[in-house]
Amino acid sequence: LEDSEVKMIESRFKTQEWCDEFLNDQVIRVFYRNIEVDTYNTHSLQGTHNIEFIIAHDSYSGYHNEEERREAVVKIHGMAKQETGNLPYKIPIVKGYPYMLTANIDVEDNLVNGSMGTLKALENYTNAHTGENLSRLWFKFDNECVGRRLRLKYDSITRSKPDLLQKDWVPIEKRSSYIYPCGDIECKRTQFPVVLACALTIHKSQGGSYDQIVYRYHRTQKQQLVYVALSRVTTIEGLYITNATNDFKFYHGDFCDTPEMRAIRNEYQRLSAHPLSTLAKTIRKWMLPSDTAHEQIIINNINVQSIQAHSKDIAADDLI
């Protein structure tokens, strides 16, 4: 990086105390390690009122005695979320806080693992067929494309409860996953596929875009991860960087020649030598005037069936 670019990044350093005082818990914190994420998420709930906890329903089968069942319970409670179908045992429920989906609910509806939303309501209801008491969580996603089809499906429910629900909220139901702790023992866990997401790891933040983030930086982090963390925020003004020692120096501005970075540079060189011939490139090439001394007017006539249904896609397309 040039000196001016390094200085621009270093100008975004703040002390942890400053971030705690002036940036609330709804500003996403980005950490390198899972333990830092868990610590911050726990810390963010301190002093918060009206917290509910939803405990997973675990049912066991295949054990021969109570001692085997207890051993299986202890083992499952020590497992990471990745080993339990991404269904946590206990979820703190706080309205207005950010949460992240931990499973692919509907890929075509953009309800995928990693989607971020703000918890708006906890709805308790009774199943009309079985009489069972159930619950739903309702989230507001920043990206309106997330859960669009599900919002339409539950439109009648949101209309029937205008005092509790809003039409731009998306319902998330509980789901089940089977866990095999040891031997023939099987555990069926039923829980909401969400976790509190006041803080995320750099890996989990990939693909997300946020107006503001607080990034815990360290000089030993890999070049690729530093890039991912810094590029999660939409503007430089929304980027805040901290570190444990308040050493406000950016160490990743120099040339990096690790094997991983060499592989990335080689891949970029290979791709630049073999550009894909896309439709957009073809149209842009055709639109370039052959004689730059003369003005050129191009009229595009787009004839599309159901154009109203695709209006948002067209509006978001830079080329069109």
What is this structure's pTM? 0.76
Checking if the pLDDT of 91 tops 90, the result is: yes
pLDDT score, position 293: 55
Q: Would you say 90 and 56 are in contact if contact means Cβ atoms under 8 Å apart?
A: yes
DSSP designation for 210: B
Three-state helix/strand/coil letters over 107-153:
HHHCECCCCEEEEEEEEEEECCCCCCEEEEEEEEECCCCCCHHHHHH
DSSP designation for 23: S
Percent of all residues in the chain with a pLDDT value above 70, rounded to a whole number: 95
pLDDT score, position 166: 95
pLDDT score, position 181: 92
pLDDT score, position 275: 82
pLDDT score, position 117: 93
Report the pLDDT averaged over residues 29-54.
89
Lookup: tokens for 228: 């991912």
pLDDT score, position 195: 93
For the segment 159-201, what is each residue's pLDDT rounded down to a tens digit?
999 999 999 999 999 999 999 998 899 999 999 999 999 999 9
Lookup: tokens for 318: 């830079």
Q: How many CA atoms lie within 13 A of 202 on its CB side?
A: 18
pLDDT score, position 164: 93
